A = this chain, B = another copy of it.
């Protein structure tokens, strides 16, 4: 099977780029002597997970309980569920434990900490710390941190934070500064816990940009990152990888043509309505069109309008092209996590046009 024969729209995953991205992240972290707990929220695929944990301890991060169940069923049992837990979800975690999966949960809430401690089969828990994103997590210097530790009791396993505001940083120096804030928040919290007599064996930080550009990670015990595996137009612009580091694209067919414009069968569902690059240096609309080989031979051919199943590409005046209806293109995504989510499988290549595998995804909740 070759790319030109695939039904569209669909996802194409270039395994050679994927492997290079994974090697690159592993190399960076090995210089810090730190293990990676890859975040599977982007790929949601056991085949990708096996590549990402190669040479690592084998723990993973997930963003849904559906992912936790799927990866546990495929033998990956050391799982950090990195979205704050609710009391109602603890039974599902306990059921996973019966199958041998050790799911670590996250909380920043006193009532939830009590619910964990009271549960007949409590999971291990990390206290979520806010390192500047102002989304979730406790102040590393505050009293709540110690109160949570007290409530969690023997279930306390350490701390975690996510410097998601690294996505707003521009330039390597700015990202390195966010990375230091992320490290400092987590390590400060862990040291305060230990000083008060609580255990904190796990000090978990991470986002792809901070993982790659941190200068000092002392005191950290593991790093979480996910989007680096596939990359996207936004990550390329904030220097997580080069533009040729985008491993996943959307294969699409031309379904209409006008002067200066192509209509394709990848719209808001196949690409997502994510507009991450809107405030990045270069606004790629809903994605950048590449040729079938994945080369940037069309210049700035950008998906400027995205309807449910129609994408409208504004052609680059410097690259006037005309393609018959049925011609295939590939679209590099703004935000690969969101784009992948509408699709149930990857068509895998090794950089050329031959489809060497089909890998399934676990979507939903």
Contact = CB atoms under 8 A, between A and B. Distances in A.
Interface of A: 7-10, 41, 63-65, 83-89, 92, 108-109, 111-112, 135-136, 164, 253-257, 263, 265, 268-270, 272-275, 305, 307-310, 312, 324-326, 335, 337-338, 341-344, 363-365
A272 B270 contact: no
Contact of A135 (B305, B324, B326): B305
Given A86-B325, A365-B7, A64 B309 contact: yes
A341 B86 CA distance: 25
A123 to B, nearest CB: 16
A63 B309 contact: yes
Contact of A253 (B88, B335, B341, B344): B88
A182 to B, nearest CB: 16
A135 B263 contact: yes
Contact of A257 (B109, B255, B263): B109
A129 to B, nearest CB: 13
A326 B263 contact: no
A344 B305 CA distance: 26
Contacts of A268: 274, 338
B255 A84 contact: yes
A65 B305 CA distance: 22
Contact of A111 (B85, B112, B325, B344): B325
Of the candidates A7, A65, A269, A324, the one having the most CB atoms from chain B within 10 angstroms of its own CB is A269
A92 B6 CA distance: 13
A94 to B, nearest CB: 15
Given A111-B325, A325-B109, A164 B307 contact: yes
Contact of A269 (B135, B255, B338): B338
A24 to B, nearest CB: 22
A338 B86 contact: no
A160 B88 CA distance: 50
Contact of A274 (B7, B89, B273): B273
Contacts of A274: 268, 273
A63 B267 CA distance: 11
